[in-house]
A and B are shown apart, each in its own frame.
Chain A
Amino acid sequence: LSLRTLSIATVAALTGGFALVFFYAPNDADQGFIQKIFYVHVPMAMVALGGFVLGGIFAIQHLRTRRPEWDLRSYVAIHLSLILAIAVLITGSIWARASWGHWWVWDEPTLVSFLVVFLLFACYQPLRFSIEDPERQARYASVFAVTAAAFVPINFLAVRMAQGYVHPRVLTATGGNMTGQMRVAFYAALFAMVLLFVTLFSLEMAAKRDAARLRRARRELEDVELAPRRTFAPEVTG
């Protein structure tokens, strides 16, 4: 699948998904219009958590095969998920303010667990940054990514048990308390968000590969001392 097709499909899915959210799904009876933020917040949170776990799975692959390609995938997945996670915390905070009157609510287990997971994965970049040898950096980052991915479900279990059930449980096993139209809009938004993640992932992977190739080419051509790299993203050779 080419990057162009993927990008066009993502734009179409996002437009279609949000059209459904705003024009097809009814306003929530309790919360009114502000509940629409749910269609951005929840899919984004699910994709971010999925991305963190995916980063851990790629890290397992890296530890097994020792191919730098897998380390790069793990890095990009975690990097993108961190950006999404910041957006999740901001939208969650806005939603909490609108429906409960406070910007931050401690007895809201999903938001609190998400914050802890975010704080843990936010250490991924400082960890890479403080190890200079690229091969060891890749190995240590993978060990951390695997441990942190295993932490995600345990953390959610512990935080959820520690608090009352305040959060609107829209995604229970029975389909929750969403109406049919809401559910259609939600799944459309979720699909669009997954597609967005895949597109951004492919774009960043392509950019990282091209940057590495360009760097190699320049080194061969000019044979000059290049300025030190300013990023600690893994560099894939070959």
Chain B
Amino acid sequence: MTVLGALLRKELRIELRTLEAVPGMSLFAVTTFVVFHFALDRPTVQGDLASGVLVVTLLFAAMLGVNRLWVADEEQGGFDAVLLAPIDRTSLFVAKAIAMFVYLAVLEIVAIPAFAFLLLEPPIRAEVLLVLLLTDFGMAVIGTLIGALAVKTRARDLIGPLLALPLLVPVVIAAAQALQPLLATRDHGPAEPKWLLILGLYDLVFALVAYAVFDPLLED
């Protein structure tokens, strides 16, 4: 637990000092909302269009974070340091995934108010947070695993999103469907429980899979 705490502190301190990932992701999200405004040529969005715009923007902003997540470890010997230390390697994965989850949460603290201010027609509802929490968990787990895989390849900026996007299709489906009634102006309602169930199932399965297969990635 102290190992995990130390690794997590290291991640967050590096991000606080370099500000490499989160400000870029947030700025990207806000710019994307502006791009959507012009591409769709609408002053406001609601319902299925709103949930689609929001989920796609968060997904692509998360891809930026995935590409940055492991670069410092690869280029400046973070991997070697963890391998030299007498600790369980999986704790590195858990620390990175928690850090990625925190990045996504901070991203949304910026992006959701910006979305409500710039594009969204109905007022934002608190239930959105629950859906986003489950979405962030899935994106953090997959992003951390695929990021670790992609960082050692020659075309890392290409391989990362190429592998992560199809893997995240179920998350996109479930999140977009769950948010749809929450972002509707007329006949809005609570999210259908089955989509939250799908998100939860996805999170659980891939947390276990990633936990199981992470070790072999760190062998040299």
Enumerate chain A residues within 8 angstroms of B152, measured Cβ to Cβ.
131, 136, 140
Enumerate chain B residues within 8 angstroms of A135, measured Cβ to Cβ.
220
Highest count of chain A CB atoms <10 Å: which of B145, B163, B167, B205: B167
Enumerate chain A residues within 8 angstroms of B163, measured Cβ to Cβ.
120, 123, 127, 144
Distance from A74 Cβ to chain B, minimum over Cβ atoms (Å): 13
The one of B155, B159, B177, B213 that contacts A63, using a Cβ cutoff of 8 Å: B213
- A150 and B170 contact, CB distance less than 8 A: no
Instruction: Answer whether residue B202 sits at the interface, using C-beta atoms and an 8 A cutoff.
Output: yes
Instruction: Answer whether residue A217 sits at the interface, using C-beta atoms and an 8 A cutoff.
Output: no
Instruction: Answer whether residue A116 sits at the interface, using C-beta atoms and an 8 A cutoff.
Output: yes
Instruction: Answer whether residue A98 sits at the interface, using C-beta atoms and an 8 A cutoff.
Output: no
Q: B-facing mask of A118-141, CB < 8 A → 1, else 0? A: 011001001100111001100110
Enumerate chain B residues within 8 angstroms of A117, measured Cβ to Cβ.
166
Which residue in chain B gives the minimum CB-CB distance to A127?
B159
Q: A-facing mask of B204-220, CB < 8 A → 1, else 0? A: 01100110111011011
Which residue in chain A gives the minimum CB-CB distance to B177?
A162
Enumerate chain A residues within 8 angstroms of B153, measured Cβ to Cβ.
127, 130-131, 140
On whether A146 and B213 interact (CB within 8 A), knowing A139-B219, A155-B170, A158-B169, the answer reads yes
Instruction: Answer whether residue A151 sits at the interface, using C-beta atoms and an 8 A cutoff.
Output: yes
Enumerate chain A residues within 8 angstroms of B195, measured Cβ to Cβ.
161
Q: A-facing mask of B103-126, CB < 8 A → 1, else 0? A: 000000000000000000000000
- A147 and B166 contact, CB distance less than 8 A: no
Instruction: Answer whether residue B55 sits at the interface, using C-beta atoms and an 8 A cutoff.
Output: no
Sort chain A's interface into a size bin: 20 to 34
Enumerate chain B residues within 8 angstroms of A151, measured Cβ to Cβ.
167, 170
Distance from A130 Cβ to chain B, minimum over Cβ atoms (Å): 4
Q: B-facing mask of A139-166, CB < 8 A → 1, else 0? A: 1101110111011001101110110000
- A158 and B213 contact, CB distance less than 8 A: no
On whether A130 and B154 interact (CB within 8 A), knowing A140-B149, A150-B206, A158-B170, the answer reads yes
Enumerate chain A residues within 8 angstroms of B202, measured Cβ to Cβ.
154, 158
Q: Is the interface of A mostly helix, strand, loop or mixed?
A: helix
Measured in the bound complex, the distance between the Cα atoms of B220 and A61 in whole Å is: 20
Highest count of chain A CB atoms <10 Å: which of B152, B162, B213: B213
The one of A116, A139, A157, A158 that contacts B216, using a Cβ cutoff of 8 Å: A139
Measured in the bound complex, the distance between the Cα atoms of B209 and A63 in whole Å is: 13
Instruction: Answer whether residue B198 sits at the interface, using C-beta atoms and an 8 A cutoff.
Output: yes
- A150 and B159 contact, CB distance less than 8 A: no
Distance from B215 Cβ to chain A, minimum over Cβ atoms (Å): 9
Pairs A–B under 8 Å by Cβ, sample size 28: A63-B213, A63-B216, A116-B169, A119-B166, A120-B166, A120-B167, A123-B163, A123-B166, A126-B162, A127-B149, A127-B153, A130-B153, A136-B219, A142-B216, A143-B149, A143-B214, A143-B216, A147-B145, A147-B206, A147-B209, A150-B205, A150-B209, A154-B170, A154-B202, A155-B170, A158-B174, A158-B198, A159-B173
What residues of chain A have their CB less than 8 Å away from a CB belonging to chain B? 63, 116-117, 119-120, 123, 126-127, 130-132, 135-136, 139-140, 142-144, 146-148, 150-151, 154-155, 157-159, 161-162
